[in-house]
Amino acid sequence: MKNTFIGASIERREDLRFLRGRGIYVDDLTVPGLLYAVILRSSVAHGRLKSVDTSAALKIPGVHAVITAKDMNFTDYPAGVPIVPMRLQPLPEFKPFEQPVIAYDKVRYVGEPIAVVLASSVAVGEDALEHIAVEIEDLPPVATWRAAQKNESILFEPTGTNRSLMFEARKGDADTAFRDAPYTRRENLRTGRHYGLTMEPRGVMAEWDAAKNKLTVSGAAKVPFFNRRILAKQIGLAESDIEMIENDVGGGYGARGEFYPEDFLIPFAAKHINRPVKWIEDRRENLMAMNHARETEADLEIACNRDGTIIGVRGDVHTDMGAYMRTNGAVGARNAPQFMTGPYRVPHHKVDSHLWMTNKTPVGTYRGPGRFEGCFYMERLLDMVAADLGIDRVEMRRRNLISKAEHPYKLATAQPTNAHDQTDSGDYHATLDLCLKEFGWSEKSKLGGKLVGGKYHGVGVACFIEGGAAGPKESARLEINRDSTITVFMGTSSVGQGVETIYAQIAADALEVPIERIRHVYHGSTNTVSDGYGAYHSRSVVMGGSAVLVATEKFMATLRQAAGKRLGCAESSVTLDVDKVVAGGFSLPLGEFAGLTAESAFLNHKHTYSYGSHATHITVDAKLGHIEILDYLVVQDVGRAINPLTLRGQVIGSLVQGLGGAVLEDLKYDEQAQFLTGTLADYLLPLASDFPNLRCIVTDDHPSPINPLGAKGAGEGGIVAAGGCMANAVANALQSFGVQPRALPLSPTYIWELVQAGQQKAAE
C-alpha cells in the first residue's frame, strides 16, 4: 500500500487520554513511604549567608529531615556543593557565575534555595519553614543592568565584574559602511522580562533503591538524557544507575525541563534519607524560581541608502541575566544580536551583546529566545526608517527581503563561540505577498490613524525567520509487539507538540502500514533508547522525525534478515503487508517476530529556517491605552508540513504567547531587587477571550534540503514577530500623536504615557 499520512490533518492521538483525565503527571504519582519536600527560599536579594539553624524545625512532628549545604560534601566541588553547569555555550568564562544547587556562602536572588524540609505532608513542611532561623548579612542589591555596569556591588567578588561575557555578532565591515552611509538612524529599544509560564508547574519525584544502587527520577522533561549526565556527575553515580522518567508534561516553552537546583536536591534528599521524595512547585515558586527571559535594552543604529536598501546595523544589546549563568541562559543573549536582521539582506553587521549579572532570578530560554527581542528591534527600525525616507513600509520590506536566489544566505557570526549560520531555502517575498493578500492589507491600511467610534485604527506588518533542528543527532528505535503492532521509542521529548501523532504518521508512511499498526510512541525516558537530545530549538520533527525514517530502514533490514531465515527465502523478497510478513507465497503474522527491534540515529549539524509574515489590524483607545485586536494573520512556510492541523495549533499557540509578551506580561522588581509579581494577579497573562481573532496559513512550498523529510522547525514562528508587529500597529494607529513605541510590553499605562508626551510636545 502507498500511504499519505505525512501531510494529512490527523487529530492528535494523545488528546483523548487528556480529555478523559487519564494523563499521568508527576503530581499524580505516589509510592509507599513518600515524603514531601518543601523548600526554604531566600527573601533577601543579595547577602552573605551567616548561619542556618534547623533545630526547631526538626522538632515538629512529621518533619523527617532538613537538608542544608552542610549535609553535602562532594569532593569534586570546591565547597562540597554541586554546581548547575551550562548545557549550551558552556564557555569557561561562565564558570565563576554558575549556580550552586543550594546557597552556602551568599544568596543572590529572592527565591534561591537555602534549605529543604522533608515532611509527611506539604502542610507540615510549610509550617516547618517558619521555624528555620536564617541569618543573612545584607549586601547592596544590584537591581538593573545599569547598576550592574557600575560594578559598585559585585555579585561574584573574585571576578571583579558583573559582566559575565560579551558576545560579538559580526558580518562585513559596519564601521566603514556607516561612515559613507547617506542615511542613518539611532534608537534605544527595550523588551520586558517574561517567562514561559506552564499550566503545570515543575515537579520531581525521586526513589532510591540502595540494594540495586539505582536512582529513579520521575518528572523529567525536555532534555532528560542531558540532565541524567549532570545528575550522575553531581551525585556520584554511573549514568546507568539512574533512570529519568518523562511523565506527561503540562507545557515546556523552553523553561520547563532544564536542570534546576531542585533536580539535584530532590534525588539527593531521597538518597540521603533512603525514602522516596516528591516536590511540586507552587505558582509563587514557579514565578520567582523558574527561568526568566527577554529583559533587554538595545542601543542600535541602522544605515540605509535613500531608496531604503539597508547597508548595515550596529550597536549594543544589554541583557539582564539575573543572578547566575545556568544551563541555557546565554542563548537569548547571543541570538538577539546574531539573528536580529531576520529575513533581511544586511551586508554589514556589528552588534555586541553584554551579559549583566543582577540580583534577579536567573534567565534561560523562552520560545523564540533572542529572536522575539531581535525581531522587535528590527521591525521597529524598519517602520521608522520608512517614514523618514518617505517609503511605503511594505515596500521597505520587499526591497530588503533576502531573495529566493540568494539562499543559502549567510547570517552574522557570533564570537567567542564562532557560531556561524545560514538560511537553507525559501521565498520570503511570496509569504509576505500571501499574507498581505489574505489579510486584505490594501483596504485595511487605509484605516491607519483614523478615529472611528472613539478608537484609533492601526495596521502593522512584520517578517521573521525561525531557526530550528539543533543537532548533532537524534535517536529512534522500533520494536514489534505480540499483537502484530509496532512501538516507536524516541530520544526526543514531548512538551505538548503532539509528537506521538506526528511520529506515528512518519513511521506508518515509511513502513507503508496503517497508522493503527503504530501502537505507541514512547519518548524522552532514558531506558528506551541509547541516547537522546530532547525537545528544544524547534528540533523535534526535523531531528526526531528523520531519526524515525532512518530507524525504519534499519528495522526493515533486520526484519527481512530474520524473516528470510524463518521462511527460507531471499531477504530481498520479504515485504511487510499490514500485520503480516510476506515472502515467496508464504506469510507469518508480524507478532511472530515480537521483540525484534532496531535503533538508529539521524546526524545533522545544519539548521532549518522556516519563515513568514505577520499582519494585524487593531484599535487603540488613546484615553485608556487599551488595545483590541480586530484581525491578526500569520503566514508561515515550514518546508514540509507533517500534520497541518497540529502545526496550525502550534502557530496560534505561540502567537498567543507572543501577544501576551507584547501587551501584557512583565516580571517586575523594585530597587531592592525584591520580586513584585508573585501572583497571577500581578503577572498578567492572555485569557481565552483576549485574542479571539487570530488566523494562520501554513505553506510548504520550499522543503529544506538538509533533512530527508524536507521539514523545518515551526513551533516558534507565531511568537517571534508578534512584538514588532503589534508595536508597528500601535504607532500606525496613534500617528497623529507622534507615538513611536520603543519598549514592550505595550501596556495601557505605557501607551497612555506616550499619548500624553505626544500631546505635550505638540502643544509646545
pLDDT bin (cut points 50, 70, 90) of residue 621 is very high
| Residue 416 preceded by cis peptide, ω within 30 | yes
The secondary structure of residue 351, as a DSSP letter, is: E
C-alpha angle with apex 570: 565 to 574, nearest 5 degrees?
85
* Cα distance between residue 486 and residue 519, in whole Å: 6
Domain definitions of the chain by residue range: 15-23+470-603, 31-139+196-289, 428-466+606-764
Strand order of the β-sheet with 133-138 is 106-107, 47-53, 133-138
Residue spans of alpha helices (H) in 36-76: 55-58
332-391 pLDDT per residue, tens: 999 999 999 999 999 999 999 999 999 999 999 999 999 999 999 999 999 999 999 999
Asked whether the predicted pLDDT for residue 3 surpasses 80, the reply is no
- Cell 543572578, residue? 323
Integer angstrom CA distances of residue 95 from 99, 244, 327, 393: 9, 26, 11, 45
Are the C-beta atoms of residues 267 and 256 closer than 8 Å to each other?
A: no
| % of the chain residues with pLDDT over 70 | 100
Phi, psi of 264 (to 5 degrees): -95, -45
Mean pLDDT computed over 276-286: 98
Instruction: Please give the model's pTM, rounded to 2 decimal places.
Output: 0.97
Terminal CA-CA length for the chain: 77
For residue 13, which amino acid is it? R
Are the C-beta atoms of residues 267 and 101 closer than 8 Å to each other?
A: no
CATH annotation of 31-139+196-289: 3.90.1170.50
644-698 pLDDT per residue, tens: 999 999 999 999 999 999 999 999 999 999 999 999 999 999 998 999 999 999 9
Are the C-beta atoms of residues 17 and 526 closer than 8 Å to each other?
A: no
pLDDT at residue 762, as a whole number: 87
480-520 pLDDT per residue, tens: 999 999 999 999 999 989 999 999 999 999 999 999 999 99
* Cα distance between residue 286 and residue 105, in whole Å: 24
* Cα distance between residue 370 and residue 342, in whole Å: 11
| Long-range contact pairs involving 511-514 (C-beta distance under 8 Å, separation at least 24) | 511/486, 511/552, 511/555, 511/556, 511/576, 512/1, 512/2, 512/3, 512/576, 513/1, 513/3, 513/486, 513/576, 513/578, 513/579, 514/1, 514/3, 514/578
Mean pLDDT computed over 203-208: 98
Mean pLDDT computed over 39-43: 98
Mean pLDDT computed over 397-412: 98
> Are domains 15-23+470-603 and 428-466+606-764 of this chain identical in fold?
yes
For residue 58, which amino acid is it? L
pLDDT bin (cut points 50, 70, 90) of residue 524 is confident
Residues with Cβ within 8 Å of 522's Cβ and at least 6 positions away in sequence, in order, are 487, 488, 489, 490, 528
Mean pLDDT computed over 250-264: 96
* Cα distance between residue 497 and residue 25, in whole Å: 16
Burial of 3 (0-12, 13-18, 19+ CB in 10 A): middle
Q: 15-23+470-603 adopts what CATH topology?
A: Aldehyde Oxidoreductase; domain 4 (3.30.365)
Are the C-beta atoms of residues 660 and 727 closer than 8 Å to each other?
A: no
DSSP-assigned beta bridge partners for residue 415: 168
Q: What is the mean pLDDT of the chain?
A: 97
pLDDT at residue 223, as a whole number: 97
* Cα distance between residue 724 and residue 690, in whole Å: 19
DSSP-assigned beta bridge partners for residue 353: 167, 317
* Cα distance between residue 713 and residue 384, in whole Å: 31
Tell me which architecture the domain covering 428-466+606-764 has in CATH. Answer: 2-Layer Sandwich (3.30)
Among residues 411, 405, 433, the alpha carbon closest in space to that of 342 is found at: 411
Residues with Cβ within 8 Å of 587's Cβ and at least 6 positions away in sequence, in order, are 577, 580, 581
- Cell 527565591, residue? 111
Among residues 276, 263, 275, the alpha carbon closest in space to that of 235 is found at: 263
Three-class secondary structure of residue 194 per DSSP = strand
Asked whether the predicted pLDDT for residue 313 surpasses 90, the reply is yes
Mean pLDDT computed over 552-573: 94
Among residues 377, 360, 372, 361, the alpha carbon closest in space to that of 313 is found at: 377
pLDDT at residue 2, as a whole number: 63
* Cα distance between residue 534 and residue 537, in whole Å: 10
Mean pLDDT computed over 739-750: 97
- Cell 515532611, residue? 119
Where b means 16+ CB within 10 Å and e means fewer, 234-270 reads bbebeeebbbbbbbbbbbbbbbbbbbbbbbbbbbbbb
* Cα distance between residue 763 and residue 756, in whole Å: 11
Three-class secondary structure of residue 709 per DSSP = coil
pLDDT at residue 437, as a whole number: 98
Asked whether the predicted pLDDT for residue 1 surpasses 60, the reply is no
716-743 pLDDT per residue, tens: 999 999 999 999 999 999 999 999 999 9
Three-class secondary structure of residue 210 per DSSP = coil
Element (H, E) at 335: helix 331-338
